[in-house]
Structure 1
Amino acid sequence: MLLSAAARRRTPCPGGALLVVGDSPRVVVVGGGPGGYEAALVASQLGASVTVVERDGVGGSAVLTDVVPSKTLIATAEVMTLVDGSVELGVRFPGGAGAPTDPGLDRPGGAVTVDLGRVNERVRQLAAAQSGDVRERLRGEGVRVLSGTGRLAAPDRVVVDPADASADGPADGPADGSAGEELAADVVLVATGSYPRTLPDAEPDGERILTWKQLYRLQELPERLVVVGSGVTGAEFASAYDALGSDVVLVSSRDRVLPGEDVDAAEVIEDVFRRRGMTVLSRSRAQEVKRVGDGVVVALADGRTVEGSHCLLAVGSIPSTAGIGLEEAGVQLSESGHVEVDRVSRTSVRGVYAAGDCTGVLPLASVAAMQGRTAMRHALGDAVQPLKLRTVAANVFTAPEIATVGWSQAQIESGEAQGEVVKLPLVGNARAKMQGIHDGFVKLFCRTGSGTVIGGVVVAPRASELIFPVALAVEHRLTVDQVAQAYSVYPSLSGSLTEAARRLHKAPSVAG
C-alpha cells in the first residue's frame, strides 16, 4: 500500500536534500551497475529501506558486458604482449623466430597461440562471478533486488516492468519480487547506463558485425578484424586483438587515434600500432558495413572498401533514458538524451537523482560509483563533497596503457591553466631498460609559482597503477618538492615520477 505524503513527516536537509524522519526512508535505485549498487550500499548503511531494480543482472553492463569482460580479455592480450617482447630478454620458444632484428617487435613465430573460445568462456565466468559477488553483498546489507525495468510513474513511484531477454551477456540468476510491482519512494536514483551506438547502414548480427557487447560469444579468433572507431573502446579492442593474433584494421574518422587523449600519448600508441603491423586508416569515415558470405565489407565515405572476416562497431554509446518515464516525471534531459545533473547528482526534480553513463558526466565506472555514493549521502543528509572531475584518474587499456589525471597539457598551452610541464621518456629509466620497455613516458604538470602538482600523464605498461601517486598529489595539492622528497624504489618505473618532480623544482633566487 502506498503511503500518502501526509502519513510521513519530512524534514529538509542541508543543501535541499530530503530526509524522512520516523520511518526508514524508502530508496529505489533504477539500474544495478556501479552507480546503482554503490548508491544502494551507502543508502542501506545510512538506514534507508533500499530496493534495486535491474534489467540485465546485478553489476549492469559494467560487470556483465563492458568493463569486467573487456579488461579480462585484455589481461590475456597483455600476456601475449609480454610474450612478444620476451625474445629480447633471452627467452626462447620451440619453433620460435629466434633473436629479433627490431628489439621488442618480432613475434615468437607463432609458438604461442590463443584459444579464443576458452578465453571468452573465462570472460563470461568471471563476469557472472563478479555479478554474483555484488548481489550477495547487496543482500547481505539488506538491499532488495528486483529483476525488471524500472519506470518512473511519478517522481515518488517506480513501476517494475518485465525485463526483455538479452543475449548480449551472461544471465545473472533469479531476483526477488516480480514484474508489475509498484514501489513507493522518498528518493529515486536513476542509474540506467548506456548501450552501444551503431550506424544506420551497419546492423549488428552478433556473428560477423558486432558491438563490444557481442564479442564474448566468439569461439574463434577473427582472421581479419575491422574496428570502426578509434576512441578509447576502439583503440583498446584493436590493441587487444592485435596482441591475440588477429590481423587488425582500425578505421579512424579523425587525424589520429584517441583524439580525446594527450597528443604525445596518442602518437606513441598509433606508432606502436603501426610498428606491430596494424593497419590504421586515418581520416576515414565508415559509411556502411555489409556481411558478404563468411566476411564483411566496410564501405568508406571516400569510396574505398575494406574487407575483413569480422567488424567491430566502436562508435560511441547512447544513454538508456528513453521509455522509462523520465521526461513525463519532469526530469530534464540534454539534446543527447543524457540526464542533466549537478555536482551532487541531483536532477531537475526534487528527490530524483542520477548517476553513471546515463548522465554523460564522465563515462567511467569509478565516476559512476562516486556519483551514486554522493547522491545518497546528499539525499539522506550525510556529509557530502561535490564531485570534482579535475581529480579523476582515467586509463586507456592499450599496450602500453595511457593514464591521466588533472589538467592537460593542451589546457596549459591554451592558457586555461597556468602551469609548467616536464616530460621524461621511459627509455632513460633503468627498470624500463631491464624489462625491455621502449615506448612511453611520464609527464608532470605543476602550477606556475606555487609548484603545486595539477596533473600528469603516464604512458607505460600498467600505467593504471603508476598514475595513483600523481592522483594523490593532485587531490591533496602536494607540491613538486613534496613529491620529490618521497623515496621511490630503485630501480622502478615510479622513479621517473620523482625525477620529473625534481626537474620541476625552482631554486630560490639569490640576492645580489
Structure 2
Amino acid sequence: MAQNFDMVVIGAGPGGYVAAIRGAQLGLKVACIEREHLGGICLNWGCIPTKAMLRSAEVYHLMHRAKEFGLKADGIGYDLDAVVKRSRGVAKQLSGGIGHLFKKNKVTTIMGAAKLAGKGRVTVTTDKGTEEITAKAIVLATGARARELPGLEPDGKLVWNYKHALVPPHMPKKLLVIGSGAIGIEFASFFNTLGADTTVVEVMDRVLPVEDAEIAAFAKKQFVKQGMTILEKASVKKLDRKGDTVTAHIESGGKTETRDFDTVISAVGIVGNTEGLGLEEAGIKVDRAHVVTDSYCRTGVEGVYAIGDLAGAPWLAHKASHEGVMVAELIAGGHPHAVDPGSIAGCTYCHPQIASVGLTEAKAKEMGLEIKVGRFPFMGNGKAIALGEPEGMIKTIFDAKTGELLGAHMVGAEVTELIQGYVIGRKLETTEADLMETVFPHPTLSEMMHESVLDAYGRAIHF
C-alpha cells in the first residue's frame, strides 16, 4: 500500500533538506528521498569540505608569515592525509546533523532513487525493492554534477574532478586547473598554497569571469604574486595521458602549445541531475540540462516544483535553501516573496577572498544607468593593517539619480563575511544616505564598507 504525504522532496542537499524541514514546521506530512547521502554535494563534496581544506591552507600560509607577527615557527610542514581527514570529518559531522534534524521535525527519510510516476505519484527504488508513494506536492531538488568535456574526462589519477580533488591520491607537483570559476580558483588556491606549481586556464577574457572586471583584475595580480600562472582567452583542446604525465594542448591567440603536468583538475561548470527522474514523461521542460521554472520554482506541471542547481543559476547553496523555504511556504498555502537572484551574494574562498552582490559596473553601464562608483583599499583601514592583510578593495555602485545600491564587490580578507551587510542593504532598499549615516564600529574591516560608500560621493575620509 502506497505511503501518502502532503509533500515529497527528491534530493536532500541544501535545497531539499531545508524544504523538507520547513514544510514539516508548517504542519505538512513530509518525506525526503535521497539516493546517496544527506546533505548532498554541498555538505559532503562541496561547500563545507572545501572550506575546511582552505582553512588548513590559510593556517599553513600564516605559519610561514610568523616572523612578521613577532612569532617563531620552525620546521613548518603539512600532512595532506591529515588535512583531508579533518575535511572529511567536518563533512561527516554536518551530514549526520541533518538526520537528527529530520527526526526532530518528523520528516520521513527514504534512501533510494526516485522517479515521477504520474500526477502526485513517485516510485522509489531502494535496496529492498520498488515502492510507490503519493503526494499532493513534489519538489525536485536533485542538484547538479561536474560537467565533463570530451577528451578532458576525469580518471581520478591524473585528471580530477572536484570529488577527486577533495580526496587527492597525491600532492600535485605541477598542476593544471581548467576553469577559473569559484570551484577551479579555490582548488588552485589550495594546492598552490601547499606548494604546487599551479597554472590556471580560462577560456574567457579574465579569471573569475562573473565578477566585476576591476575586482577580477585585482585578484589576478594577487594570484600571480603568489606564483600562479594565469592563462586567459585560452582553452585546453586535448589531454595526452602517459605514465605519470599529462600533456595539455593549450590554444591561445590562434596558436596551440603543449605543456606537461602531473595533475589536472577539470572545473568547467556543472550540469543538472535530470536523468532518470521521468521528467519528459511528466511534461516537465528541460533546457540545457536544467529544469525550466518560473520565479516561484513552479515547473508548469501542477504540483511539481524544482529548486536549487537543478533549476538553474546562480549555482549557490544559499539560493537553493531559500528557494526550498519559499516553495514549502507556497505548498502550505502561504504567500512568500519570489527569490530575487540579483540580491543573492556570491562568495569565493580563494586567497584573497572574493564576494559580490548585485550589478557589476559594466552591467550597470550596459543597462544605460547613470551611476556613481566608490572604492576603498584595505591599506587605508587600521584593522586590515593590524591583521597583516593590507591587500584588498571594496567597490560600491549606486544609481546616481535615486541613490539605490546597485551592486557591491569585494576582494580581500574576510570579505565573504562582510558582503552580507550590503545584501541586507539591498533587501531593505537602502540608499546611499542611509549607509552614510550608519555608524560602523572601529576598528573593523566593515569601516571600509562605509568609506567606499562615502567615496562614491566624494566624501571618503581616510583615502
Q: TM-score, normalised by structure 2?
A: 0.94
CA distance in 2, matches of 1:121, 1:179: 34
CA distance in 1, matches of 2:111, 2:368: 47
CA distance in 1, matches of 2:64, 2:440: 29
1:109-164 C-alpha deviation (Å, 9 max, x unpaired):
xx42221111111111211111110111012111111111111111311111248x
2:375, 2:455 within 8 Å by CA — same for their partners in 1?
Answer: no
Out of 128, 131, 135, which is 1:185 matched to?
Answer: 135
1:481, 1:505 within 8 Å by CA — same for their partners in 2?
Answer: no
Question: Quick one: structure 1 residues 202 and 504, their matched pair in 2 at CA, closer, same or farther if it must change by over 3 Å?
Answer: closer
Letter paired with 1:89: F
CA distance in 2, matches of 1:179, 1:79: 48
1:319, 1:337 within 8 Å by CA — same for their partners in 2?
Answer: yes
Which residue of structure 1 lines up, in the alignment, with residue 307 of structure 2?
Answer: 355
Q: Shift in Å at residue 481 of structure 1?
A: 2.2
Give the alignment of 1:107-118 within 5 angstroms.
111-118=75-82
Give the alignment of 1:98-497 within 5 angstroms.
111-162=75-126, 178-301=128-251, 302-334=255-287, 336-497=288-449
Out of 498, 503, 506, which is 2:450 matched to?
Answer: 498
Q: TM-score, normalised by structure 1?
A: 0.85
1:329-349 C-alpha deviation (Å, 9 max, x unpaired):
011111x02101111111110
1:199-250 C-alpha deviation (Å, 9 max, x unpaired):
2112322122110012232254211221111122111111111112222111
CA distance in 2, matches of 1:418, 1:330: 44
Q: Shift in Å at residue 84 of structure 1?
A: 4.1
1:375-427 C-alpha deviation (Å, 9 max, x unpaired):
11112202311111121111111111111112221122223444311111212
- The structure that is helix-richer by fraction is 2
1:78-107 C-alpha deviation (Å, 9 max, x unpaired):
22233344443343433xxxxxxxxxxxxx
CA distance in 2, matches of 1:400, 1:50: 42
| Equivalences, count | 456
1:451, 1:505 within 8 Å by CA — same for their partners in 2?
Answer: no
Identity %: 32
Letter paired with 2:114: G
CA distance in 2, matches of 1:124, 1:93: 27
Task: Say yes or no: does 1:32 pair with 2:12.
Answer: yes
Letter paired with 2:148: T
Letter paired with 1:202: L
- The structure that is strand-richer by fraction is 2
CA distance in 2, matches of 1:284, 1:321: 30
SS of residue matched to 2:81: helix
- Select between 60-69 and 178-187 the one with higher mean Cα deviation: 178-187
1:191, 1:354 within 8 Å by CA — same for their partners in 2?
Answer: yes
1:30, 1:189 within 8 Å by CA — same for their partners in 2?
Answer: yes
Q: Shift in Å at residue 296 of structure 1?
A: 2.0
Q: Shift in Å at residue 485 of structure 1?
A: 2.1
SS of residue matched to 2:18: helix
1:2-51 C-alpha deviation (Å, 9 max, x unpaired):
59xxxxxxxxxxxxxxxxxxxx9521111110110010011111111111
- Select between 61-70 and 480-489 the one with higher mean Cα deviation: 480-489
CA distance in 1, matches of 2:370, 2:342: 15
1:319-374 C-alpha deviation (Å, 9 max, x unpaired):
1002210111011111x021011111111101000101011131000000111111
SS of residue matched to 2:310: coil
Letter paired with 1:312: I
1:420-439 C-alpha deviation (Å, 9 max, x unpaired):
11111212222222222232
Out of 64, 69, 89, which is 1:89 matched to?
Answer: 69
CA distance in 2, matches of 1:495, 1:286: 43
Letter paired with 1:51: A
